[in-house]
Amino acid sequence: MNSKLILIIYYQQIKPFNKLKPLRNTVKSFIECFKKFSNHIVFYHNACLVLPENFKKIKWDLVVFHTTFLITRYNQFLFKELTSKLSFFKNKNFLKVAIPQDEGGGGDFLCKFLKNFRVTVVFTQLYEDKDIKIVYKDLVSSINFEKVLSGYTDNTEIKKFSNFSKNKSNDFIYRTFSAKSRNGSLGYKKILLGEFFLKQLKKNKFKYDISVNVKDTLFSTKWIKSVSNAKYTIGVEGGSSLYDPVYRLRDKCLEYEKKYPKSSFQQIEKNCFKGLDKKISGAVITPRMFEAAMAKTCMLLVEGKYNGILIKNIHYIPIKNDLSNIQDILKKLNEESRKKITERCYKDLIISQKYSYENFTKSFFKKLKLDNLNKKKRFNYLSYYSFVFFKLQNVYCTFSYLLFKNKLLKKSLEIKKNIINFLVSIKWYSIKKLNLLKTIFKK
């Protein structure tokens, strides 16, 4: 078995006085799929931790800078802090790849990171070629770009959705949060759609659970239950149509919104980024659409490309871009057409396995010429230890944070060092036990 040594660098924020901030199901699946669907030896490192010294002794075959880490560039102070902890990788000749998201925002910061860390492959979530050329500018000729989605389907998740989707007592479910204007007209349409549907549904006898308030965000099982319990969901392509390479426009919008909290999107656009919207398309299919397919919840979507995956009147009921046909759609909704669309959607997106994390992982390693996937998954002791290590890191991260909050700085640093050494020793022992020590650590 020609297993490769792979390091996934991700980021998971710590909530004050509690625990690690919960991740959405699709994000967790995106992080863990590299280990779950390959026989490679996969290590995980939360960027909020100091890089263990023993990690610096490993000759990595592949280092992956995950979406969850790269998205922290929206906070330059945090991003600089995290990248400084990873400076060891800058001049190393490991194969380094990046999987960024929301690339239209902070694109210059992202490009600077890619250049400084000598990343050679970017798995971009931008769908349009022209968007890639605009965002990555001079790097287009020196970096290999591969198009991927922001999320896929997982068999474990499919079973969860299936368990809750048998009885649908709610008519509509929708969740989004308001960035108001900072994602351009594409981002604003998410809010506009939710607000417009609320007005229309109140006039009819539909049961609904719709919110555009970030405080109402549903995580994990709560979201699965809610979307599975609904007959319909609404939506629009994800992404941002506002190209903002150094977040100058974002900061300008935030300042204006603070000064004029009741200002409309049109007012903010006029005063903060007039004529600058739609320089890029930025529109992509979102994980929520795969979740709706898993839940057999019929989608009412604003017309778009959806990465060429979703076709109107086959996979979803189309809403006009000006939202003018919503009332007409509501009048024509019926159980027969709903089941026909959801079954076709389930067949093409879920049963086909074309958009599964397993298929993504296979394609990912194949494109990097690291394809080492067996059809029959074999138990890998090192992979098991890696998973335990990944979970223990989360425990350590929370524990360390609590110590710092209680102002036990010196004691925390001492315990921090001991825990890291302990965790690394677990990994070291597992490697030694499997006679892989010589191939991993340099003498």
List, for residues 287-310, the tens digit of each pLDDT value: 999 999 999 999 999 999 999 999
Domain identity same for 202 and 120:
no
Domain identity same for 277 and 342:
yes
Coil, strand or helix at 374: coil
244-280 burial by CB neighbour count: b if 16+ within 10 A, else e?
A: bbebebbebbbebbeeeeebebeebbeebbeeebebb
Domain identity same for 159 and 305:
yes
Band (pLDDT 50/70/90 cuts) for residue 414 is: low
- In the chain, % of residues over pLDDT 70: 81
Q: What does the pLDDT read at residue 421?
A: 53
Residue ranges making up the domain that contains 63 = 5-152+356-440
What burial class does residue 348 get, using C-beta atoms within 10 Å of its C-beta: 0-12 exposed, 13-18 middle, 19+ buried? Answer: middle
Domain identity same for 291 and 334:
yes
Domain identity same for 346 and 367:
no
pLDDT in tens, 144-177: 999 999 999 988 889 889 888 888 999 999 999 7
Q: What does the pLDDT read at residue 257?
A: 92
pLDDT in tens, 22-76: 777 788 889 999 999 998 989 999 998 888 888 898 899 999 999 999 999 999 9
Report residue 436: phi and psi, to 5°: -110, 5
Nearest to 152 by CA among 354, 389, 320: 354
Domain identity same for 195 and 263:
yes
Domain identity same for 199 and 324:
yes
CATH number where 423 lies: 3.40.50
pLDDT in tens, 102-120: 999 999 999 999 999 999 9
Domain identity same for 415 and 396:
yes
Q: Domain ends where: 309, 335, 351?
A: 351
Q: Are 419 and 400 in contact (CB under 8 A)?
A: yes
Domain identity same for 313 and 401:
no
DSSP string, 227-285: HHTEEEEEE--BS-SB-BTTSHHHHHHHHHHHHSTT--HHHHHHHH-TTTBTSS---B-
Q: Domain ends where: 351, 386, 403?
A: 351
Domain identity same for 234 and 337:
yes
Domain identity same for 294 and 201:
yes
Our count of domains for the chain comes to: 2
Q: Domain ends where: 351, 376, 406?
A: 351
What is the C-alpha to C-alpha distance for residues 349 and 331, in angstroms, rounded to an integer? 28
Domain identity same for 181 and 269:
yes
In eight-state DSSP terms, residue 301 is E
What is the C-alpha to C-alpha distance for residues 69 and 100, in angstroms, rounded to an integer? 9
Separation of CA 72 from chain center:
12
